[in-house]
Structure 1
Amino acid sequence: MASSSAGLVTGLTAAALATIGVLGYQASATAPADLGRTQASSTPAPGASKAPRDRRHPNALPAGSGRGERVVYSVDGDRVWLVGAGNKVERTFKVTPSTVDPVPGTYAVTSRSNRVTGSDGIPVEHVVRFTSVEGVVIGFSAAVDGSTAKPKPGERTGGIRETRADGDAMWQFATIGQRVVVVP
């Protein structure tokens, strides 16, 4: 009798772990559209509207993009900065923008996926999502084939494409809750 009870407990434990795994996967793959908004409205980051780039150093971190650890994304400059402790830029790189731009402001990483199919049908990896605009989820990703082609005109996509190496760096840096500052 003891061995049949042990088998029942083992079976129930395995079923419970499988259910938790499925729920965890579903939670990491989806998030409500407004999750991660750290502001009640999409107001620019302090000083963002007055954030000219240093003409002598076009890759310089935009003034007014905040302080502390954060991802900074320039919509007009198609560039990302990964900013670590002490306001030190750890990495900066060019990106290919999506067709739907996030509004300048401060957000947080809401979900991540290691590998999925992008809204444009291209397999992508290291997806880091931080907001949505009119039902289009916005986030950073790298195409598995390494391509960074611009989306087709008329497509409503939210994938800001990086190279695979830059996508790896973003994946390591931008965990759930990491601040993302969008500047013009």
Structure 2
Amino acid sequence: MRILGVDPGLRTTGFGLVDVDGPRLHYVASGTVSTAEADSGDLPARLKLIVDGLREVVARWQPTCASVEIVFVNVNPQSTLLLGQARGAALAALVSSGLAVSEYTALQMKKAVVGHGQARKEQVQAMVQRLLALPALPGRDAADALGLAVTHAHAARTFAAIDRSATRHRLTRAQYRSGRSY
């Protein structure tokens, strides 16, 4: 399984690819998609650069699935909206390329990679370097993307084990008042 991790951002979107071979993780590639060449006020052009860049990554390295960071709410609502649009562009690029996409919060990624959710960027970079036996620290955005790929590698194994060990049935006895069942 080859996992593409994506850390969406309007200026810089990080990506990282990891091959999973049983319990072993192997580094494939990482980098960033930059929107610096577009005018900072031209949102559609910046979003197009994100879509085109991620489609190029998918075409070049042929991942089997992807994981994307879930956007957190900033103090500035305008920044949150812009980041959400960059994330939407990334999701659209991945889904239109035929990839199954899983989503994780920054807290979940930090817990999976570093061991606690309050880890700093430098700690994530150092642990990603150690986990993937990289010769140098990856960039901040690439490290987060690789961390998302590592997180999905661990979660995918757990979900697969659950699927193998138990048959899940839809519950019909427990329903919400609005009629939805889970």
> Into which bin does the TM-score normalised by the smaller protein fall?
under 0.3
Q: Between Structure 1 and Structure 2, which shows a larger proportion of helix residues?
A: 2
Q: Between Structure 1 and Structure 2, which shows a larger proportion of strand residues?
A: 1
What TM-score results when the alignment is normalised by the length of structure 1? 0.26
Bigger radius of gyration: 1
